[in-house]
Amino acid sequence: MIPKFISQILTPIKLVLFFYFYKMKSSTVSQLQKELVSLEKKQIVEVCMRLVKYKKENKELLSYLLFDLSDEQKFVAETKKEITELFGLINTSTMYYARKGIRKVLRYTNKYIKYSGLHQTELELRIYFCQQLKSSGIPFHKSDAMINLYNGQIEKIKRVLEKLHEDIQFDFVKIIEGL
């Protein structure tokens, strides 16, 4: 049965959509893994192709897994190059447009950090994002939202740094102090 507060909030059309999606339950990761193991190679390729056609992020993730996973440094270099290009495209005529552009670059950065899943890659890309933000000439220090965004990235950098080996931490400490 529907909780009363939900039926009061949702219009009839939204209520129908709510039930449609509410009843759809996805399988657990272990169930999906067991099913994939039981499939033949051709069927797995078909499943992957359907996923790739369904969503752009799936296609990008599969591209990373197939082509960029073996050379992480090349992936980081290409991503840094793209971040630089995106910072160059930011409209700085008003702080409103600058904030939108910076958030777009951060979304891009976060997406590729998620694809990689490696702490060192995350650290390198977040540091590079912060360096580009500081050197972009955008007066982000005039906006509380941008100061909070920048400080949030610094906090994430510090958290990821703690997860790395001491030798690698030492290499990044001086860079982080410059931020």
**pLDDT, tens digit only, all 179 positions of the chain:** 555 555 555 555 554 555 555 555 677 878 777 887 888 888 878 888 888 888 888 888 888 888 888 888 999 999 999 999 999 988 888 888 989 999 999 999 999 999 888 888 999 999 999 999 888 888 888 888 889 999 999 999 888 888 877 777 777 777 777 66
Write out the DSSP string of 71-84. Answer: -HHHHHHHHHHHHH
Q: Note down the domain range covering 79.
A: 71-179
Same domain? 77 vs 48? no
Q: Kindly state whether residues 113 and 29 are assigned to the same domain.
A: no
Number of domains in the chain: 3
Residues 84 and 165 in one domain: yes
Do 30 and 59 lie in a common domain?
no
Does 98 lie in the same domain as 20? no
* The predicted structure's pLDDT at residue 158: 87
Crossing angle, helix 166-177 and helix 144-163, to 10 degrees?
160
Q: What is the pLDDT of residue 42?
A: 87
